[in-house]
Amino acid sequence: MADEDKRSRSRGKAVPTSRVGRFAKVAKLAGGVAGGMLAEGARQFRAGNRPRRRDLLLTPANARRVTRQLSEMRGAAMKLGQILSMDTGDLLPKELTDILASLRSDATSMPEAQLEEAMSKAYGKAWEKEFRVFDRYPIAAASIGQVHRAVAHDGTELALKIQYPGVSESIASDVDNIATVLRVSGLLPGEVDIQPLLDDAKAQLKDEANYLKEAKFLQRFNELLGADERFILPELLPDLTKRNVLAMTYVAGGPIDAIVRRPQEERDRVMSALVELMLTELFELRMVQTDPNFANYQYRWASGEIVLLDFGATREFKARFVGNYRKLAMAAVQGDREAMAVAAEKVGYSIGDEDSRYRELVLELLLLALEPLRHDEPYDFAGSTMPARLSELGQRATEYADFWHAPPTDVVYFHRKLGGMFMLASRMEARVNVHELIQRWL
């Protein structure tokens, strides 16, 4: 069965490369969701029920349609689903964020013909001569590209990140088309204005699709962390790196969340290192790898080193934003609501009128989201009820019109990383004194 599964995956599924082909996928998605609504509605009425529109939309069958179509399209369509599920969870119905969250897992790989096309674009028709060995079976497949192992002529083991054909050129239309489907289908509440987030997503995705830019980020992180014995990163191979192929040394490691089997002390050490790295990225480097996908972190059982992978989603932040976010964090640590309100507005939040109930809700949400920073003791992430309390507060906030403003995009991307780190800490059952770690920057 394993061999059969491997052969099936190695054949892959073609990525639609033309604008017409990709739009057809979106149209098929919209039609499938609408058809699913009609079928479910008829079934419910026959049973004597009068279901809500949301209940008709968010069925298991529609969930499968959305995830299958977006994962087959890959590129910005899949990435937008990831961004929306992670970053605007308070804005969207929980059922939709659960649907989109499944897009964080591996995508479908591309077939041999498209792999050949991508490699020929990078190295020419005789591309196989560039390597002593090239494994045509990918070791990972994600939203923008897939990763293959290879061996250079000097014996260096390589990891080649190869971009899907047509993905870079389709970013703007993909984002617009998927947003339209979410809006027209009713999956996205009509009150939500996510246009600023969509515009920023297009720019961010264009950067992620430029592997030459990711190569520069990889080099910078190697320079910054090269002397830190806690971490190990792939090294860039500039001569083999092209705009659509990123060539790196292959660095082996195991799944990071598997260390839940290690002693508590080791889990706490690893997670503390990752949280400290996140804070260093924001407050010191102003350059944050914003994709918290667990697959971007691995663990070496023999040495305890943490492997850092994938710097395509690295985002540079302006000094003004970092300064204001530092003031927000400082005010949260001190429990100073007035200072928090001032800092939150400077960061870009819409916090409502003074003395309003909505303003108090926003401050409560921020205090809760930053709860691990506020207590000078190891925070037990696995035992925390913070996610449930955040969800409950978020639902209460949706009753207010001001809530439906798109969140500040810089906050969205940093909170994506922050939320991912907290989720990983919970998965590891780690305890981290975040308050102690952040003091050097406050």
284 in a domain, yes or no?
A: yes
Q: What is the pLDDT of residue 171?
A: 79
C-beta of residue 183 within 8 angstroms of C-beta of residue 91: no
Amino acid at 84: L
Residue of 228, 300, 291, 292 whose CA lies nearest to 266: 300
Distances (CA, A) of 153 to 131, 132, 150: 6, 5, 10
Residue of 160, 197, 221, 158 whose CA lies nearest to 80: 197
Residues 117 and 36 in one domain: no
Give phi and psi for 134, each to the nearest 5.
Answer: -135, 120
Distances (CA, A) of 233 to 161, 225, 241, 292: 15, 8, 16, 16
203 in a domain, yes or no?
A: no
Q: What is the pLDDT of residue 388?
A: 79
Residues 291 and 431 in one domain: yes
Residues 20 and 119 in one domain: no
Flag residues of the chain having pLDDT under 70: 1-108, 178, 181-194, 197, 394-395, 397-407
Residues 378 and 436 in one domain: yes
How many Cβ atoms from other residues are within 10 Å of residue 286's Cβ?
15
Q: What is the pLDDT of residue 91?
A: 44
Q: What is the pLDDT of residue 55?
A: 47
Residues 226 and 288 in one domain: no
Residues 246 and 259 in one domain: no
Q: What is the pLDDT of residue 174?
A: 73
Residues 19 and 159 in one domain: no
* Catalytic-residue membership of 199: no
Q: What is the pLDDT of residue 275?
A: 96
Q: What is the pLDDT of residue 14?
A: 54
74 in a domain, yes or no?
A: yes
202 in a domain, yes or no?
A: no
199 in a domain, yes or no?
A: no
Residue of 140, 122, 317, 312 whose CA lies nearest to 215: 312
Q: 3-class SS at 305?
A: coil
Encoding tokens for residue 297? 């972190």
390 in a domain, yes or no?
A: yes
Q: What is the pLDDT of residue 98?
A: 55
Give phi and psi for 231, each to the nearest 5.
Answer: -120, 150
Residue of 92, 99, 91, 31 whose CA lies nearest to 66: 99
Query: What CATH code is carried by the domain that includes residue 219?
Result: 3.30.200
Residues 62 and 151 in one domain: no
The range of the structural domain enclosing residue 46 comes to 2-107+170-190
Q: Is beta strand 297-299 parallel, antiparallel or unpaired with respect to 306-308?
A: antiparallel
Residues 238 and 284 in one domain: no
Residue of 247, 219, 235, 414 whose CA lies nearest to 315: 414
Residues 120 and 26 in one domain: no
| Burial category of 402 from C-beta neighbours within 10 Å (exposed 0-12, middle 13-18, buried 19 and up) | middle
Q: Please tell me the total count of domains within the chain.
A: 3
Q: What is the pLDDT of residue 338?
A: 92
C-beta of residue 282 within 8 angstroms of C-beta of residue 322: yes
Q: What is the pLDDT of residue 331?
A: 94
* Tokens 């990140």 found at: 161
Q: What is the pLDDT of residue 22?
A: 47
Residues 270 and 325 in one domain: yes
64 in a domain, yes or no?
A: yes
Catalytic residue chosen out of the listed positions 87, 90, 291, 310 = 291
Q: What is the pLDDT of residue 144?
A: 80
Encoding tokens for residue 15? 């990525």
User: Cα–Cα distance between 364 and 352 in angstroms, integer?
Assistant: 13
Residues 229 and 343 in one domain: no
User: Cα–Cα distance between 342 and 128 in angstroms, integer?
Assistant: 58
Encoding tokens for residue 424? 């990983």
User: Cα–Cα distance between 207 and 196 in angstroms, integer?
Assistant: 17
User: Cα–Cα distance between 155 and 218 in angstroms, integer?
Assistant: 22
pTM as predicted: 0.77
229 in a domain, yes or no?
A: yes
